Amino acid sequence: MTTLAQALPASRSNEAGRRTLAVVKLHFVNRFQILYLPLIVLGAIFVLNLAIWWIIVESTGGVNSANRSSSHLGYSGAVSYIYVYGIVIAVQAISRTFPFSLGFGVTRRDFYLGSVIAFVGLSLGFAVVLTIMSSIEIATNGWGLGGRMFAPLFFTNSFWLLRFVMYFCAFLFLLFIGTAGATFYVRWRATGLTIFFGIIAIILLGAVAYFTLGHQWPAVGTWFDQSGPVGVTVWLLAPAAVCALAGYFVLRRATPKN
Amino acid sequence: MTTVVEVDDLTKRFGKFTAVDDVSLRIEENKIYGLLGRNGAGKTTMMQLLTGQQFATDGTIRVFGQSPVENAAVLGNVCFIKESQAYPDDFKPKHVFASAPWFFQNWDADFADRLIADFRVPVNRRIKKLSRGQLSAVGVIVGLASRAPLTFFDEPYLGLDAVARQIFYDRLLEDFGENPRTVILSTHLIDEVSNLLEHVIVIDDGRIIIDESADELRGSATTVSGTKAAVDAFVGKRAVLHREGIGGLTSVTIENVDAADRRAAVSAGLELGPVSLQQLIVRKTSIPETEFGAQS
């Protein structure tokens, strides 16, 4: 009988990097689901919005009407679809791809690391798309119709890089909220989800109690004022990082269930 | 012989339920093992423990000499195909076969293509829409084409028709001949796979009650039939695994019948017959614990 250690085939030196990269690729192997479908839906929403703007503009006196620029069409929030879809992607990627990956001999650590990289990449990609669209929207004065869909609220004329940072941070925040929630589900099923939302409720309630009892609300207002939209969005990275870290420790002891 | 899996005093409890109860076993390299047992006996839990998917409550597991839990060096050489395998939402079989080579160094794409044709898997249909048998075929193809040094199949062919099951057995044996590896197969269809298995491990109620080479096991029990009086005289004080009778005729299954016994039985006018692996295991797993205390 030979010794057991010799039985293990020699592993490659860059093994860890290769496995993590494989998980990243696994998340993107079904490109339609994760990339094309959200963009197609976003495009469809955009076309519908264009049509609605056109109808409104035509019925209120046309593009050259004097009152058009002053009463330009308000922010519709239609773009929020892609943010919600971001959460869905994260939840599905963790809850379904995790048990699948384990069968392929992936460790929880490599799976999580690969997933985090995939989500950061996805956030980057979506942020780039929204930055391009909002830049065109601003440059063409709302697609020639005064409409607004991509440029964020409170924020129309500024530097494209600031918009990019806002989109990127918002996606990271939502994807990692979804990730953390999904790890609670994978580990403890429905009970875990209840606990997860319970924890969020307690944190929010605790913050409200702290600011209310300490009469701190004016300071909160000042903080929002001073940070500005970009600052506030960048601060979302803090809860995103907490979620990413929590998700890791929850998933480390998770087991696939039938 | 190289041992690839060493398990000592392994116990797994879920709350008050003990799924695996103080199990010790050895798995040797390049053999096909059958992990057999009834529903809920602990087969899947055992496989999940060996692949690091579950955490042991007590005891030690060594796979390729190391603990499999979160061990990329070990798990990189392991493929585990589960009967109830979850696939990512809206995956198609082509996505599974496209990603598998990133995880299995020995993946053979040509072999996979041949298997896809053999099993007639619709690679462009959503996995959700596949029939039970087609779903099983996807897992079987991954398990075979991955050529992982240690491959687990947990009830791999639920829903597969007889033709597809035969293809699975044939391809497994063919490929095993060219690319030896360790295969651990759990199944209910014991007689169908009995020619495939080199070693049989039977688990019941979380305990291992049989751990023997398939050949020895097949020869370990014999049915003895004849008139009730003659059979009773022959059996004497031996433990009887199973007894059935019609009128004055009786047939019993007993263990450890040696050559001298055989001659004695024949001269007493008794008939001796083989016991199929399936019958043997059914007999052994359905008798009360006190009666098989000697073997466990």
User: What residues contact residue A30 under an 8 Å CB cut-off, 6+ apart?
Assistant: B88, B90, B91, B92, B95
Distance from C-alpha of B34 to C-alpha of B201, rounded to nearest angstrom: 6
Question: Which residue in B171, B196, B30 sits closest to B111, CA to CA?
Answer: B171
- Count of A–B CB contacts within 8 Å? 120
Is B90 in contact with A107 (Cβ distance < 8 A)?
no
Is B76 in contact with A25 (Cβ distance < 8 A)?
no
Q: Chain A partners of B51 at a C-beta cutoff of 8 Å?
A: 102, 105
In this predicted structure, the answer to whether residue A46 has a pLDDT above a threshold of 60 is: yes
Is A256 in contact with B48 (Cβ distance < 8 A)?
yes
> Which pLDDT value is given to residue B8?
97
> Which pLDDT value is given to residue A26?
96
CA dihedral A127, A132, A137, A139 (to 10 degrees): 130
Of the two residues B30 and A146, the one the predictor is more confident about is B30
> Of B78, B81, B99, which is closest to A29 when you measure between CB atoms?
B99
**Long-range contacts of residues B208-216, Cβ cutoff 8 Å, at least 24 apart:** B208/B23, B208/B24, B208/B25, B208/B296, B209/B284, B209/B285, B209/B292, B209/B295, B209/B296, B210/B281, B210/B284, B210/B295, B211/B25, B214/B34, B214/B277
Whether B48 contacts B93, CB under 8 Å:
no
For A167-192, what is the mean pLDDT?
Answer: 96
Q: Chain B partners of A256 at a C-beta cutoff of 8 Å?
A: 48, 53, 86
> Which pLDDT value is given to residue B292?
44
The β-bridge relationship of strands B249-255 and B240-246 is antiparallel
Is B99 in contact with A26 (Cβ distance < 8 A)?
yes
In this predicted structure, the answer to whether residue A67 has a pLDDT above a threshold of 80 is: no
> Which pLDDT value is given to residue A13?
53
Choice among A109-113, A132-136, B36-40, B42-46 with the minimum mean pLDDT: B36-40
Q: Which two tokens stand for residue B1?
A: 């012989």
**Based on C-alpha coordinates, what's the Rg of chain A?**
23
B89 touches A: beta carbon within 8 Å? yes
Distance from C-alpha of B21 to C-alpha of B203, rounded to nearest angstrom: 10
A118 touches B: beta carbon within 8 Å? no
> How many Å separate Cα A37 from the centre of its chain?
16
Distance from C-alpha of B142 to C-alpha of B139, rounded to nearest angstrom: 5
> How many Å separate Cα A253 from the centre of its chain?
25
> Which pLDDT value is given to residue A175?
96
Sign of CA dihedral B6, B9, B13, B18: positive
A35 touches B: beta carbon within 8 Å? no
> How many Å separate Cα A102 from the centre of its chain?
25
Q: What is the full per-residue pLDDT of chain B (296 aa) written as tens digits?
A: 799 999 999 999 999 999 999 999 999 999 999 999 888 899 999 999 999 999 999 999 999 999 999 999 999 999 999 887 889 989 999 999 999 999 999 999 999 999 999 999 999 999 999 999 999 999 999 999 999 999 999 999 888 999 999 999 999 999 999 999 999 999 888 888 888 999 999 999 999 999 999 988 888 889 999 999 999 889 888 888 888 888 889 999 988 888 888 898 999 899 999 888 888 888 887 755 444 444 43
Question: Which residue in A125, A156, A114, A138 sits closest to A248, CA to CA?
Answer: A114
> Which pLDDT value is given to residue A204?
95
**pLDDT tens digits for range A6-34:** 445 555 556 788 999 999 999 999 999 89
For A167-177, what is the mean pLDDT?
Answer: 96
**Helix/strand/coil for A157:** coil
H or E segment at B172?
A: helix B162-178
Question: Which residue in A136, A123, A121 sits closest to A164, CA to CA?
Answer: A123
> Which pLDDT value is given to residue B6?
97
A107 touches B: beta carbon within 8 Å? yes
Distance from C-alpha of B180 to C-alpha of B173, rounded to nearest angstrom: 10
> Which pLDDT value is given to residue A146?
84
Q: First and final CA of chain A: distance in angstroms?
A: 38
For A62-74, what is the mean pLDDT?
Answer: 56
A8 touches B: beta carbon within 8 Å? yes
Nearest CA in chain B to A96: B88
Side-by-side strand order, sheet with B58-63:
B17-28, B3-14, B58-63
Is A255 in contact with B91 (Cβ distance < 8 A)?
no
Whether A240 contacts A101, CB under 8 Å:
no
> Which pLDDT value is given to residue A158?
72
**Based on C-alpha coordinates, what's the Rg of chain B?**
22
**pLDDT tens digits for range A180-210:** 999 999 999 999 999 999 999 999 999 999 9
Q: Which two tokens stand for residue B77?
A: 């050489």
Residues 234-253 (A) with a CB less than 8 A from some CB of B: 252-253
Q: Give this prediction's pTM.
A: 0.90
Nearest CA in chain B to A13: B73
Is A107 in contact with B70 (Cβ distance < 8 A)?
yes
Is A100 in contact with B100 (Cβ distance < 8 A)?
no
A96 touches B: beta carbon within 8 Å? yes
A15 touches B: beta carbon within 8 Å? yes
**pLDDT tens digits for range A211-242:** 999 999 999 999 998 988 888 999 999 999 99
> Of A9, A30, A105, which is closest to B88 when you measure between CB atoms?
A30
B143 touches A: beta carbon within 8 Å? no
Q: Chain B partners of A30 at a C-beta cutoff of 8 Å?
A: 88, 90-92, 95
User: What residues contact residue B143 under an 8 Å CB cut-off, 6+ apart?
Assistant: B79, B81, B151, B152, B153, B156
In this predicted structure, the answer to whether residue A108 has a pLDDT above a threshold of 70 is: yes
**b/e map A26-54, b = 16+ CB within 10 Å:** bbebbeebbbeebeeebeebbeebeeebe
